[in-house]
Structure 1
Amino acid sequence: MTTASVSGGAGTPAAPPPRLPLSGLLALSTAAFTAVLTELLPAGLLPRMAPDLGVSEARVGYLVTGYALASFLAAIPLTAALRGLPRRPVLIGALLGFAAADTVTALSSSYGLTFAARLTAGVMGGTLWAMLVGYAARMVPAERRGRAIAVVLAGITLALSLGLPAGTALADALGWRAAFAAPAVSAVLLVVWVRRRVPGFPGEPPAERVPLLRVAALPGIGTVLSVTLTLLVGHQVMYTYVAPFAKDAGFGRTGLVLLVFGVATVAGIWLTGALVDRHLRRTLLGALALLAAAMLALGSWAGHAAVLLTAVALWGVAFGGAPTLVQTALVDASGTANADVATSLQTTVYNAGIAAGSLTGGLILGSSDSEALPWTTLLLITVTLLTVAAGHRRAFPPGRPSDVRADLRANAGHD
């Protein structure tokens, strides 16, 4: 390589890396925020919603379960069915679906109608999550892909750390219906933002569509999906039951524990965004090692409040950037042309991991005591760490891989 090719011309300094299209990426991040807020809001409003809907708090809790189940079932088939359509209308349709579902929830006094609205919202969620990461990846050059995905997925953390407490506060002030009306209105306003700032991309022409099974069989995809599953199961085992764990450890201020975790995840996202494009593999290995150390500390010394809060903070930093790391690895392995299909697979695995982790933690808590939770998580995170360390080079490469779209087209004639 000549000096001129490095500098952009004799005596001419290299061009700076292109700036991120922040307005469009923040619109996608707000879509992620809206989806998470819609999904989890009933969990914080159980005592308020149950009397108005004439059901028990447990049945209100099923509104979260129904959403997750619909999202789990819809992600792959809907993504496959819609992949030929232009991307921005599909995104706008999903947002309008959220607006309609949240509006019905805010107005309904029937549990059956509310449950149907939640199923609709779950279908919209499955569609949205399958396309957000791929959309972000197509908006930037490959060398900025990880940072763009980090911006979009920051909406998840902000929803958990700020959106849900704000929704609960709004319900305290104006009633639970106002808490659902707010994301309905914001989803409509977000459509305008998306229409103005998010670029339109065409759907996949039939001749260029790679079948779902071939995408799943691409080198590295299986490894990334297995890492996603064990990571989420391990995290959810502990996170779902952090309140009884903290109480049993002698620290009853669960709100403070969750606040520390939430703030730390923001730091984790920022740190990941700075490193993911240059050091994806090392950053993921470091995050998993930090998470393992946090679980070791919680399992051994959680009775000391300072140790507990420090370990929770390390856990938050480590896990905060994990979605960005695994989803960036998935897009790198699949190529941007197949990112929506690959992400639909990951969305399904993600929801399965959350459900399996919550179930596993509940079984552990029912058969022993909460002290076993961090050790179970440590075991699963160790398995995840070893999988990444030994994983396929396409899954977790030391540097930025090239897009595999050309490889797929070159191999299309050999099937």
Structure 2
Amino acid sequence: MSTASMVKGTAVPTPLPWSGLLALSTAAFTAVLTELLPAGLLPRMAPALGVSEARVGFLVTGYAAASFAAAIPVTALLRGLPRRPVLLGALLGFALSNAVVALSSSYGVTFAARLAAGVMGGTLWAMLAGYAARMVPAERRGRAIAVVLAGITLALALGVPAGTALAGAVGWRATFGLLAGLAVLLMGWVRWRVPGFPGEARGERVPLAGVAVLPGLPVILSVTLFLLLGHQVMYTYIAPFTDQAGFGRTDVVLLVFGASTVAGIWGTGLLVDRRPRATLLGALALCAAVMLALGRSADAPPVLLAAVALWGVAFGGAPTLIQTALVHASGPAASDVATSLQTTVYNAGIAGGSLTGGVVLERWGAPALPWTAFPLIALALTAVAVGRRHAFPAAPGRRSHGD
């Protein structure tokens, strides 16, 4: 594929394959909505399944655990298969599991369906960024990945609240049924507009352990871990922190954060292919500064809301920047396996951050949360600063001295 066409002597960038990228973005949206929707439907699902609300909450836990456990082994098992059939298989799995949830009155059957959906989720997340990278020239990979990962942001900011409201209007079973239907329609869209790519040839596959130690990969995975640890320490317990700060409107705080992440991923899409390293350094520095502001002045509502807005902007763009660095470091062919490693590290960061935040909250109270998050995010920032050769070069294809 030519990276540019010539019009009257001027190089014009190859246009993005928008329809295919938006199909992948919708797949990301569907996966996040499938994972998190039960959290908004606890009071409605519990009586129908004959269990407590806490056990309905385990439907989210089970999905996450299955995704965590499946990402690496399933991706390694399927890495030799053509990519589009694997993608279609994951979407079919979402459709079937959501249909089972919509129809089941047994908690055990419902939980099993959620575990199956989690396996599909782990498979899907491992391949989306690499798929997007293979659809565009190297100099446009960052923008393509940003488009795909925007589906996550839209699901968090709009999809989960809208799905919860829809369940109030038509019932939770109908909502899961519609989600199953969305996955079926998405299969047709993918078959129509997303190109097929071959799997990795057996003789060309880098062993799993070899992928993990590719130049730059350990640094990128450590940045992922430290950022998610710090973020989840604060985000998981934003409600008690907001209460102790005297504001008490967690819904407003979450709305501000969600809306700001949309702005963050949009801005990142403009910069990721031109200044990826500087943009990531700025995003992490802003996250760290926000934690300092929350630690010192969160009892002033204007400061609290402004800090949360900046936090959303910074964090909204960070996953795209880190994912793009991962694809450049691993190469598109090995990106599925590399991303499966990152998916596992990502989920470990979520679990570890939530656990750490809970311990801190119980022992020292909510005011200690931002001071716990700050050094973790500072470690992520430091890792980016020192990983300037293979992990986070100034721009794709350019390498600085030192690492």
TM range (shorter): over 0.9
* Residues 346-371 of structure 1, C-alpha deviations (whole Å, 9 max, x = no match): 01101111111111111111112101
Where does the alignment leave 5 or more consecutive residues of structure 2 unmatched?
A: none
One of 43, 55, 58 as aligned partner of 1:59: 55
One of 148, 155, 158 as aligned partner of 2:151: 155
> Greater CA deviation, 55-64 or 25-34?
55-64
Q: What residue identity is the alignment partner of 1:283? A: T
How many angstroms does 1:155 deviate by? 0.2
Q: What residue identity is the alignment partner of 1:266? A: V
One of 265, 268, 274 as aligned partner of 1:272: 268
Aligned pairs for 1:276-291 within 5 A = 276-291=272-287
Q: Does the aligned pair in 2 maintain the 1:223–1:392 contact within 8 Å?
A: no
Q: Does the aligned pair in 1 maintain the 2:16–2:144 contact within 8 Å?
A: yes
CA distance in 2, matches of 1:62, 1:309: 31
The 3-state SS of whatever aligns with 1:371 is helix
Correspondence 1:293 to 2:289: yes
CA distance in 1, matches of 2:286, 2:398: 29
Match of 1:14 in 2: 10
Q: Does the aligned pair in 2 maintain the 1:49–1:60 contact within 8 Å?
A: yes
Match of 1:413 in 2: none
Aligned pairs for 1:3-402 within 5 A = 13-401=9-397
How many angstroms does 1:290 deviate by? 0.7
The 3-state SS of whatever aligns with 1:16 is strand
Match of 1:4 in 2: none
Q: Does the aligned pair in 2 maintain the 1:223–1:391 contact within 8 Å?
A: yes
How many angstroms does 1:14 deviate by? 3.1
How many angstroms does 1:178 deviate by? 1.9
Q: What residue identity is the alignment partner of 1:369? A: G
Superposition misfits of 4+ residues, deviation over 6 angstroms: none
How many angstroms does 1:61 deviate by? 0.9
* Residues 67-121 of structure 1, C-alpha deviations (whole Å, 9 max, x = no match): 0110011011111111111100000000000000011011111110000000000
How many angstroms does 1:26 deviate by? 0.3
CA distance in 2, matches of 1:97, 1:318: 33
* Residues 238-286 of structure 1, C-alpha deviations (whole Å, 9 max, x = no match): 1111011101111111111111001100000011000011111100000
Identity of aligned residues (%): 74
CA distance in 2, matches of 1:95, 1:20: 23
Q: What residue identity is the alignment partner of 2:245? A: A
Q: What residue identity is the alignment partner of 1:332? A: H
Q: What residue identity is the alignment partner of 2:281? A: L
Q: What residue identity is the alignment partner of 2:14? A: P
Q: What residue identity is the alignment partner of 1:319? A: F
Q: Does the aligned pair in 2 maintain the 1:232–1:357 contact within 8 Å?
A: yes
CA distance in 2, matches of 1:22, 1:56: 44
The 3-state SS of whatever aligns with 1:218 is coil
Count of aligned pairs: 396
How many angstroms does 1:15 deviate by? 2.1
Where does the alignment leave 5 or more consecutive residues of structure 1 unmatched?
A: 1-6, 404-415
How many angstroms does 1:174 deviate by? 1.4
CA distance in 2, matches of 1:81, 1:109: 33
* Residues 151-192 of structure 1, C-alpha deviations (whole Å, 9 max, x = no match): 000000000000000011011111111221121110000000
Q: What residue identity is the alignment partner of 1:42? A: P
CA distance in 2, matches of 1:379, 1:182: 43
CA distance in 2, matches of 1:207, 1:319: 39
Q: What residue identity is the alignment partner of 1:175? A: G
Q: What residue identity is the alignment partner of 1:143? A: E
CA distance in 2, matches of 1:53, 1:340: 37
Per the normalisation by structure 1, the TM-score is: 0.93
Q: Does the aligned pair in 1 maintain the 2:5–2:14 contact within 8 Å?
A: no
Q: Tell me how large the CA RMSD over aligned residues is.
A: 1.5
Q: Does the aligned pair in 2 maintain the 1:394–1:401 contact within 8 Å?
A: no
Q: Does the aligned pair in 2 maintain the 1:39–1:64 contact within 8 Å?
A: yes
* Residues 290-331 of structure 1, C-alpha deviations (whole Å, 9 max, x = no match): 111111111111111111000000000000011101100000
Return closer, same or farther for 1:8/1:103 CA change in 2, 3 Å cut-off.
closer
Q: Does the aligned pair in 1 maintain the 2:388–2:394 contact within 8 Å?
A: no
CA distance in 2, matches of 1:233, 1:158: 22
